[in-house]
A = this chain, B = another copy of it.
Amino acid sequence: MERLIGVDIGGTRTRVGAVLAGRILARRAFPTRGVPEVRAAIQEVLEEVGWARPDAIGVGAPAPLDMRQGRILHAPNLPHWNGVNVVEELGRAFACPVFLGNDANCAAVGELAYGWRAQDFLYVTWSTGIGGGIVAGGQVVWGATGQAGEIGHIPLRPDGPRCNCGKRGCLEALAGGAGLRARAQERLGLPLSAQELVERARRGEPGPLALVEEACAAMGQGLAIAAELLEPEMIILGGGFTASWDFLGPKVRAAFEDLSRVRPRLELTKLGDDVGLLGAAALPLHFPRF
Q: Are B148 and A141 in contact (CB under 8 A)?
A: no
> Which chain B residues lie closer than 8 Å to A120 at the CB level?
143-144
The closest CB in chain B to the CB of A233 belongs to B144
Q: How far is the CA of A232 from the CA of B230 in the complex (A)?
A: 14
> Which chain B residues lie closer than 8 Å to A258 at the CB level?
158, 167
Q: Are B141 and A137 in contact (CB under 8 A)?
A: yes
Q: Are B158 and A229 in contact (CB under 8 A)?
A: no
| Total copies of this chain within the assembly | 2
> Which chain B residues lie closer than 8 Å to A228 at the CB level?
150-151, 153-155
Tally A residues with Cβ within 8 Å of B.
Answer: 45
Residues of A that sit less than 8 Å from B by CB: 119-120, 132, 134, 136-137, 139, 141-151, 153-156, 158, 165-167, 217, 221, 224-226, 228-233, 255, 258-262, 264, 288
Q: Are B230 and A148 in contact (CB under 8 A)?
A: yes
Q: Are B139 and A261 in contact (CB under 8 A)?
A: no
Q: Are B149 and A229 in contact (CB under 8 A)?
A: yes
